[in-house]
Structure 1
Amino acid sequence: MSRRQTRLLILSAVYLLVFSLTSLGAVYADTRPYFKAYGADTFSGGGFNSGPSSCDPSDSSYQAPDYTGSSGPSNLYKGGVMGFARYDANSQKASGAGSEFGALALGIIEGNSAASGEPYGFSTGTTGYNKTSFANKSTITATNYWGGFLEGSKQTHCIPDYFGTKQSSPQTIASANDVAALNSGQYLINGSGITNVAAASPIAAGKKITLFVSGNVFISSNITYGVHNVDNVPKFTLVVKGNIYIANDVGQLDGLYIGQPSTDPAASGIIWTCHTNSNDPPTDVYVSAACRNKLTVNGAFIAKKVNLVRTNGDVNSAAPGEAASSGNIAEVFNFTPEMVIGGGFFNDAGASSGKIQSLISLPPVF
């Protein structure tokens, strides 16, 4: 029997995965779906630069709580993480939504450890080790949180303006119905309406393709990498100044996908993991009926907001230490070695690049 269930979403301003939380609203679903991240930390909060100018923490679209009010912090979910997860006090392990490594957030990482109530949470650790513990605020009025609040004031944490600063004389093209057929290089589409992006075959080894689109995009097929080795890793980057809509039957996306705000920042810079080829938001009935298959991202999303609306799986069936191959997860994000091996995503096609011999990740700095 189907019942009305609020689907809570992780949304974003990102580096690897940067999420700021909001709720899509009530969706008809009979499960509590969840997402998981593997291979790197998740980071939530901040904003996009504008060209060379840094983002402004006072801007209304900046994703972080407000600590200046006389009655205490407000907008706790801005720059936060929220998902469906369960925590077992006896084993001290969590299952459901979580990150294999760390979860860093400027806002709340909400969690409910009680046996009753909605199973909210977002855990960290390779075995569902424990509740998230990164936090530097001990006087928050929120009653159920597992971490977050990595600022005591709105300090500047900015994401590059990829669309405005990473273009290097891109070739203007009219369509992108088969990105795998493009040669290595940068391409630009000045879209009118919604631009379809698809791949008729895997992207061949050694290709480095960067596609900039001004306007909204509909991804209508899987975009995957072909067979390759450490010396010829393919790279695909999609940079959209607008929204990215992903078709309900897309099951795998390889590469880097960036959604930046346009001239209407409140309604753009959003990635939807299940959507029709339309600018109208998907209906409750559509999400429940059409979005029940798993989406695997081998790479990263960077966006102002990510609406996670796949309804596959149920947190009640989740297990601690769940592998990415589990069929019970709605959305999986794998930060794969291809993200760092073979050079950067925005190098010129003909430029030489050295091999990465070591990669060091340092603690967050604010």
Structure 2
Amino acid sequence: MTRPIRSFALAVLVLVRFAGPAGAAGEPPFSALTLVGGPQVLFKAGRDACDGVDVPDASTRAFRDASGAVVLFGMHYRNRAFRGPNLDKLKLDCAVVLESAGNADPARYDDRSWITATWTEDGTRIAALIHHEYQANEHSGRCRLKAYMPCWYNTVVAASSMDGGRSFARAEPPVVVAGPPFAQEVGQGRHRGFFNPSNIVGDGRWRYVFASTTGWSEAGRSQDAGVCLFRSDDPADPTRWRAWTGSGFTASFPGPYGRTRAGTDACKPVKPFPTPVGAVVRHRGSGAWIAVFMATAGPGLPEPGFYWTTSRDLLAWDQPRLLLAGSTLYDDPCATPGGLIAYPSLLDPTAKGRNFDDVGDTAILTYVTLRTEGCAITSDRDLLRRPVAIRVWP
């Protein structure tokens, strides 16, 4: 498969403004992640796809259903799931669990949708967060420009399943968990909104998720670009998500089209993330949080690749360290013959939690390789896994 295909992580090509690292450059980390084996192919588009839309295009997210079987997402906007008895024996199920309607009405939030975060308490009722793209350039009269990026309007919206992830439905009327406070025609000329949510993690009564924003200064409001942390005590009620402002979890971003209006608070971006958080997990032995993300070279990041960083509280993170070197979606494909790497995630096959938000001293890194042709990123992609050893100091 060589047909070029858009990739939603490209959104941050216009976002990347490197945050300074949380600690000084020489400060020792309090964790170590080491790749301890070679890659194995989980999915090869030309071999395993159900149709031409089946390409890995997001960081993997997994949960155990009520029977104990594993359900894993990480594909494109015609959403399908991998299923199997465990993380070692997964196969793509060709049944579509959530379709993207290509709806031209931005208030319907049903143009292009990716399942990018899930949470379940019982394996039957699943709350999901959707990376939603309104691609105004594809709808006549909706954008004064013709290109993808200048017309791109992003929101994180809610969906749910009542059958263990066999089918998902958007909330009706639509519920926006994170969206800009202005309509899609405002500020055209650049990518706008919230996008690329991480997985959801649990800590006591609270559930947390990171989401990226390009920031804005429109409609009389201002928001810095970066990665914001959201919290909820009940993901099944998507109206309860609130973002960290620097003093509390009080900021809400329900978007401009519904009855509920956004508050005046802005979320405070969490350093040191220059790009979306691929995944965050909690180390069982120490209680420390470990996050992985992809980035190009910049301050505190000596070369392109996948990085990890560690935290005690999800807000203050240590100096990022390189886990796997390689050109990413934030690098020039013209200068990277052969391909790119993208969409890192961490999963422990022996995770204690139903939502795979914890890891022990070993885990697997899942990620995508994307082949290029000239300057084009193609749909010829593999989903890979590699074993990782984890050590966290007290």
TM-score range, shorter chain: under 0.3
Could you tell me the TM-score, scaled by structure 2's length?
Answer: 0.25
More strand by share: 2
* TM-score, normalising length: structure 1: 0.26
